[in-house]
Structure 1
């Protein structure tokens, strides 16, 4: 018997069928997946970007060029590529704009260092260089960003309009920029300037009409709710009405299917019915005593209550959406009551004017001239539903950009100007650093140029020629020169051309893109667990037998 070390037993760690991929090949595969996503989004960037028409499994079509929306609709399953989906969503939630830019930038960072990975450079050296370059870029933005003087309201408003216009320049509504930019700025200035909660800007989509028929209601407006008999006899217009907001059901309750009431005489049954009517009449009288002329409730208001209010010249609306009712309270004051007893004057709100009006094919309840108005409603008009939805997404981006400009007040020039300046600055700094980090930082600087290059490509300009001009301008100290898609030169001073955006948009995009690139570079192995498979119906069963058997059961259908 041969002496030596005892045989080690084989240890099975992972479930049978688990797929593992690792090493350099896996890292390069992840980079290729990210580049494929960037290739899909690249043509949507800039003022001449194209739109994507995406059809889901139900056949619903959406037309958009918003990066976060496209990635959400594409339903990407590649695990590494989902990182780019996450940074696009984070950019959308945080600053609202720059979702396409952040994905292109992250993918371009990976593309620039793919050659170094193939040659065996450690990913940790690349990640260290990226983080250093990112810090230099963010520091440079802080140095050159332009702070806006808020003391002059007219100039500050002008700045906000220019930021909103820049955000819309690549959207479907770019032809109506002045109209919608003013509307967006008015909407943001309606909000409480301390928290600027954009969810208090209601958006209602009404098919029909043109874009110019869109309205900004400085108050609250919502579609006429489901109404019962008697609603048409109610008054539809008031001046300075008292408004009560309820979370109470004003309807005769139907008995439950399994309810059982045992009575000895008919009079006992009548007493039960009378008690039910007594309860609802007591609620209605309590509401009337408050002096309210407009009654809104989150829960149904039945035909009895509707007719009762109509006889007393009171307007009521039941089944009001929770978000709409919350915005009514923000605008008119008061609070939502969960009981009809003990409603006092401080619980009621008021507005200067309430009316029900026809807008397109729908009727809308409109509350205007609200004393505490910290909310507003955008009524969007347009031909196709997909068009109105894209207008809504475009306005959301513009609202978020204006909100950030109000909160921060620092701006930079758009159109690739800030990226070109950062690229020149990082290149210059990289020359002072020895070793491989210099190459990585130069790659970072080159990756930043993807934004102006893609804007040129999408506009049909010669990107090589335009980038050479921009490099020369930035080398000579003209830090705000960017791409001009309209002029013959192809370049211009975008600060003077009023192509402005909040510096926070770029700060967030560069930080997120760097983190995403470093995250993907740090992954060297993917472990994919096997999916649980459906049970096999057996070799003796002909094809389709299992499906037919399943369809036949459970609904009273006999098996054949």
Structure 2
């Protein structure tokens, strides 16, 4: 019997903490409070910024709790839960990320003496749950409904709520300006909660007050091909064709092989390739569209072809921008140029390519659906953009 009982060997990584029970609970609480102390000084109207330098050499300056928690390289499993709390708060509400981390840490700090006195964790959890019920009831008593109020009154109240989220940010001095902008952007997408219908673009240079809202879609000019400068850059009430196909001559795939018995047949193969691309381009022109956008490349030949016929085109448009153009203009993204009917074409009141700082932007405004908006952020440095972007995203989620 003694021979059958072998000693149990547990292999653990060097430096592994094997503590259990009360000691481990206290250790977990201490780790969480240490993380909370990192972001504690960022809270409030006079909250201080943190400079974070990661192993890739990237430097980030922010007082946004969610941003800081994402950048912290936390190894402790209990402390990682605070990161998940911040991410969940940022995703669901868009604001209060620092607050939830500090509240969670303070709850743990207050529970620490009870743990040391031997109170079972389940009893503490039951008490926290009862406290949360009472807190929710109190919040409902304090809540103010905006149902039935005029549009102007709703916008005024929402702007005040939105400005509150920017009080502690670097752009707090312009909080009324950005709060009003974001409320208008959220109002533009209607009653839906599709935050991806609000685009946020960054353009270095200028002041924060140079930021503006487009009631439609705006995106940076895509890669330019030969003939691009000859295209018209402004249209009134254009028809818009949205594609997900390449409009350029494509090289043969790897290991493609063509056997010819007569050298004269080679020219017929070359002509067939050119005829295919010309047929596609001709069908785009026949559709009546004045603006052609594609998620894939539109090459030199197509760009010059469209320019000769007073048509604007842009290839390699980002998928999210193309989908927002489709939602705004009422168009449908096509995977073929065959049988393009008016029902799949989008339209807008005004299209133009405009210079914004050192960048050129394609701007679609006066869209019939009115379900999209784009915020173009200006600032003298990337850190200004980061903080403004963070604040704008928080505002958008908060309003929704």
TM-score class, shorter-chain normalisation, is over 0.9
1:225 has 2:222 as partner? yes
Q: CA deviation at 1:11?
A: 6.0
Which residues of structure 2 form unaligned runs of 5+?
Answer: none
Go from structure 1 to structure 2 and tell me whether the alpha carbon gap of 1:30 and 1:291 turns closer, same or farther (over 3 Å shift): same
Counterpart position of 1:156 = 154
Distance in 2 (alpha carbons) for counterparts of 1:186 and 1:40: 35
Deviations 1:163-192 (A, max 9, x none): 101111111111001111110100000003
Counterpart position of 1:12 = 8
Distance in 2 (alpha carbons) for counterparts of 1:47 and 1:150: 33
Q: CA deviation at 1:196?
A: 2.5
TM-score (norm: length of structure 1): 0.69
Deviations 1:252-281 (A, max 9, x none): 011234222111222211111111001001
Go from structure 1 to structure 2 and tell me whether the alpha carbon gap of 1:47 and 1:291 turns closer, same or farther (over 3 Å shift): same
Q: CA deviation at 1:14?
A: 4.2
Distance in 1 (alpha carbons) for counterparts of 2:113 and 2:169: 35
Distance in 1 (alpha carbons) for counterparts of 2:142 and 2:279: 68
Counterpart position of 1:145 = 143
Distance in 2 (alpha carbons) for counterparts of 1:16 and 1:225: 53
Which residues of structure 1 form unaligned runs of 5+?
Answer: 404-560
Distance in 2 (alpha carbons) for counterparts of 1:10 and 1:187: 70
Aligned CA RMSD, in angstroms, stands at 1.4
Go from structure 1 to structure 2 and tell me whether the alpha carbon gap of 1:138 and 1:11 turns closer, same or farther (over 3 Å shift): farther
Say which of 277, 280, 296 aligns to 1:280. Answer: 277
Kindly indicate whether the alpha-carbon contact (under 8 Å) linking 1:298 and 1:320 is maintained by their aligned counterparts in 2: yes
Distance in 2 (alpha carbons) for counterparts of 1:38 and 1:241: 54
Go from structure 1 to structure 2 and tell me whether the alpha carbon gap of 1:212 and 1:348 turns closer, same or farther (over 3 Å shift): same
What is the correspondence of 1:238-317 to structure 2 with a 5 Å cutoff?
Answer: 238-317=235-314
Distance in 2 (alpha carbons) for counterparts of 1:150 and 1:181: 22
Go from structure 1 to structure 2 and tell me whether the alpha carbon gap of 1:277 and 1:106 turns closer, same or farther (over 3 Å shift): same
Structure 1 counterpart SS, 2:261: coil
Q: CA deviation at 1:17?
A: 4.8
Q: CA deviation at 1:69?
A: 1.0
Distance in 1 (alpha carbons) for counterparts of 2:340 and 2:377: 36
Distance in 1 (alpha carbons) for counterparts of 2:122 and 2:172: 43
Deviations 1:311-364 (A, max 9, x none): 111111000000000000011112000001011000001111111111000111
Structure 2 counterpart SS, 1:238: strand
TM-score (norm: length of structure 2): 0.96
Radius of gyration: which is bigger? Answer: 1
Kindly indicate whether the alpha-carbon contact (under 8 Å) linking 1:150 and 1:156 is maintained by their aligned counterparts in 2: no
Go from structure 1 to structure 2 and tell me whether the alpha carbon gap of 1:8 and 1:27 turns closer, same or farther (over 3 Å shift): farther
Q: CA deviation at 1:199?
A: 1.0
Q: CA deviation at 1:155?
A: 1.2
Say which of 52, 58, 62 aligns to 1:54. Answer: 52
What is the correspondence of 1:478-557 to structure 2 with a 5 Å cutoff?
Answer: none
Kindly indicate whether the alpha-carbon contact (under 8 Å) linking 1:88 and 1:99 is maintained by their aligned counterparts in 2: yes
Distance in 2 (alpha carbons) for counterparts of 1:152 and 1:8: 83
What is the count of residue pairs matched by the alignment?
398
Distance in 1 (alpha carbons) for counterparts of 2:129 and 2:193: 32
Say which of 233, 237, 250 aligns to 1:236. Answer: 233
